[in-house]
């Protein structure tokens, strides 16, 4: 216990888990130590931190891991992971010679820029982590935004998630543990019979599904007991393990225990004796309090926002796969013909191992033996063109100023359209109707000509503008484009969809059309151009599932920057 107290694992540290100034480092150091004790059972950890002296100091703890370390790029190929046939060495030796892959041996993989990991690489690493010779994975997440993070399929297979974003160099404290001794004591640690059931009940209360989370918590408790030189898992070990492995997985907050709640009835007779023989059951409220103290602020909001954004898709062009153009993907089996392009190297690599057997089966055939199932077809990933739909409020006395700034913003966005495959469209709503002033285009000359004379004045038919946006977005989706809405208005809707002047109906119609746009999967941003932030526009942005940005007296550059920043998140 002397080492534990020196490293901040005493009771005072556990009581100060809600102080983020200096406990993030201690939690991370403890998680790294537990991972070094049981790397295969705990899978790995996610470290969220930008490149800094704090992250460099934390990564020094990985030197205690039992396996060699190798860095992995987020766009690593299958040859890097699984190895491949060395064609030149094979031809020289007359037999198949393979290069070793990173997953061919037990080791610790450090995945840099983990937030950029492709789904293909994530699937392969997830499969490796589920295998008998699973590596230990350290994912270095450098995402600047909350929604830039490691894919859930990988994060779910790693026991710990550490966030050192707000840690400074003053938080760094030297921690020393007997890792080798703890590793030797791990198998002899006894687990009380009631501990697994308590952990599973906590996971259910926190809304955590699946079997990995309780298994990680149990393994972390055993590793912590071995680290503390306990012969059996204690209640304090379970509390700390649950806090480290379950807090970042919670999908709902546990209800606080009321003071007047009646305690659970105590077992009597033989049941009571069996309970004492198996070990005292850890009270659930203690476990829940330990986990609740470490649940990050706004975690549940970020989970909901992430699900909403995943349902809508990102603001960038949607990914499309085909065999003609785009980013190369691993080749797949297929048949030549049509637009399919044969990957000759991959085809030869597939056929090479079978040449000796096929030559023996057909001695009359000289040369290369190819079969239809050897053929590999090139595969690419491309992005759909993106359409930015500017819906501009052209009503009222300030309409000319708003339209002038919108014109400048559209022209600024079009200047970058060729590099980002963006199309731009403009909808102006005023009076009782909405009008598409600029159909989807990438032509800057046509844009300037269409925007040279813009009408203004009249009422604010906000619902009509959203309805026109929905129609234009539907046409874009049918053409394979990815539409995004940028709504510029002061929020004072007063014309309903039927053309009558009724503020109540106008607001209700606008919310109804916003819900329809959200259901269509449209990403959006609402720019409030009024002199003061308008509450109704904030509610409208919520109905759209998009961002709300108040920008009084916004100029064209600020509008363009706001839209660009939103699209790049």
- Superfamily per CATH, domain 18-177: P-loop containing nucleotide triphosphate hydrolases (3.40.50.300)
Three-class DSSP category at 419: helix
pLDDT at 148: 66
Angle at 158 between CA 156 and CA 163, to 5 degrees: 100
Q: Are 219 and 35 in contact (CB under 8 A)?
A: no
pLDDT value of position 225: 92
CATH architecture, domain defined by 386-567 = 3-Layer(aba) Sandwich (3.40)
Tell me the three state secondary structure of residue 530. coil
Q: Residue 216: its pLDDT value, please? A: 93
The pLDDT score that the predictor gives to residue 89 is: 72
Most confident listed range (19-33, 198-212, 385-399, 416-430): 198-212
What is the structure's pLDDT at 80? Answer: 83
**Residue 234 above 70 pLDDT?**
yes
Question: 219, 305 in Cβ contact below 8 A?
Answer: no
| pLDDT average, residue stretch 157-173 | 83
Report pLDDT digits (tens) over 27-76.
Answer: 888 888 899 899 888 999 998 888 888 888 888 777 767 778 888 888 88
User: Is 80 exceeded by the pLDDT of residue 264?
Assistant: no
As a three-state string, the secondary structure of 240-301 is HHHHHHHHHHCCCCCCCCCCCCCCCCCCCCHHHHHHHHHCCCCCHHHHHHHHHCCCCCCHHH
Instruction: Provide mean pLDDT across the span 199-219.
Output: 88
Which pLDDT score is estimated for 214? 92
- The full set of domain ranges for the chain reads 18-177, 188-251+278-312, 320-383, 386-567
Whole-prediction pTM = 0.53
pLDDT classification of 280: cutoffs 50, 70, 90: very low
Q: Residue 466 has what pLDDT?
A: 92
* CATH number for the domain whose boundaries are 188-251+278-312: 1.10.8.80
Fold match between domain 18-177 and domain 386-567: yes
List, as one string, the DSSP characters of 66-132.
SS-EEEE-TT--HHHHH-EE-HHHHHHHTS--EEPPGGGS--EEEETTGGG--HHHHHHHHHHHTST
User: Residue 91: pLDDT band by 50, 70, 90 thresholds?
Assistant: low
The string over 500-534, giving b where at least 16 C-beta atoms fall within 10 Å of a residue's C-beta and e elsewhere, is eeeeebbbebbbebbebbbeeebbbbbbbbbeeeb
Q: Which residues of 349-363 are buried (b: 16+ CB within 10 A; e: fewer)?
A: bbbbeeeeeeeeeee
């Amino acid at each position: 216990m002397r080492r534990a107290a020196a490293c901040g694992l005493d009771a005072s540290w556990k009581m100060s888990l809600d102080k983020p100034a200096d406990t993030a480092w201690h939690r991370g150091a403890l998680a790294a130590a537990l991972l070094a004790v049981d790397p295969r059972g705990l899978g790995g950890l996610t470290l969220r931190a930008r490149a800094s002296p704090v992250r460099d100091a934390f990564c020094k703890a990985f030197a205690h891991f039992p396996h060699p370390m190798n860095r992995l790029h987020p766009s690593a190929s299958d040859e890097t992971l699984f190895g491949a046939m060395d064609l030149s060495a094979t031809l020289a030796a007359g037999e198949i010679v393979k290069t070793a892959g990173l997953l061919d041996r037990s080791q610790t993989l450090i995945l840099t820029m983990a937030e950029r990991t492709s789904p293909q690489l994530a699937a392969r690493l997830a499969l490796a982590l589920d295998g008998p010779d699973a590596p230990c994975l350290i994912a270095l997440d450098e995402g600047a935004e909350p929604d830039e993070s490691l894919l859930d399929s990988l994060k779910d297979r790693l026991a710990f998630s550490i966030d050192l974003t707000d840690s400074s160099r003053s938080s760094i404290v030297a921690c020393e543990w007997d890792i080798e001794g703890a590793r030797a004591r791990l198998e002899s640690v006894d687990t009380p019979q009631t501990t697994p059931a308590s952990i599973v009940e906590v996971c259910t209360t926190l809304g955590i599904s699946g079997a990995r989370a309780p298994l990680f918590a149990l393994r972390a408790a055993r590793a912590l007991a071995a680290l503390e030189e306990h012969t059996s898992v204690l209640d304090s070990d379970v509390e700390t393990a649950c806090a480290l492995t379950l807090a970042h997985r919670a999908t709902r907050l546990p209800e606080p225990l009321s003071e007047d709640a009646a305690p659970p009835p105590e077992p009597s007779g033989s049941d009571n004796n069996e309970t004492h023989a198996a070990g005292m059951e850890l009270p659930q409220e203690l476990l829940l309090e330990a986990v609740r103290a470490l649940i990050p602020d706004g975690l549940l909001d970020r989970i909901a926002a992430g699900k909403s954004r995943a349902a809508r898709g990102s603001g960038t062009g949607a990914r499309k796969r085909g065999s003609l153009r785009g980013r190369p993907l691993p080749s797949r089996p297929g048949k030549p013909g049509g637009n399919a392009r044969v990957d000759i190297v991959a085809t030869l690599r597939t056929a090479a191992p079978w040449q000796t057997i096929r030559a023996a089966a057909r001695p009359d055939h000289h040369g290369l033996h190819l079969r239809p199932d050897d053929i590999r077809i090139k595969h690419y990933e491309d992005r759909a063109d993106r359409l930015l739909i500017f819906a501009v409020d052209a009503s009222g006395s300030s309409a000319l100023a708003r339209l002038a700034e919108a014109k400048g913003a559209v022209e600024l966005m079009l200047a970058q359209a060729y590099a980002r495959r963006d199309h731009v469209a403009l909808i102006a709503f005023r009076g009782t109707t909405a009008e598409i002033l600029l159909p989807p285009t990438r032509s800057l000359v046509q844009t300037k000509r269409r925007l040279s004379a813009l009408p203004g004045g009249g009422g604010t038919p906000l619902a009509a503008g959203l309805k026109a946006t929905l129609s234009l977005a539907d046409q874009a989706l049918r053409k394979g484009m990815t539409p995004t809405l940028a709504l510029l208005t002061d929020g004072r809707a007063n014309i309903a969809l039927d053309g009558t002047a009724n503020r109540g109906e106008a607001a209700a119609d606008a919310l109804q059309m916003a819900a329809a746009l959200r259901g269509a999967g449209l990403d959006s941003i609402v720019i409030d151009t009024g002199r003061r932030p308008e509450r109704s526009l904030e509610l409208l942005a919520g109905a759209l599932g998009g961002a709300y940005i108040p920008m009084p007296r916004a100029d064209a550059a600020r509008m363009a920057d706001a839209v660009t920043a939103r699209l790049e998140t």
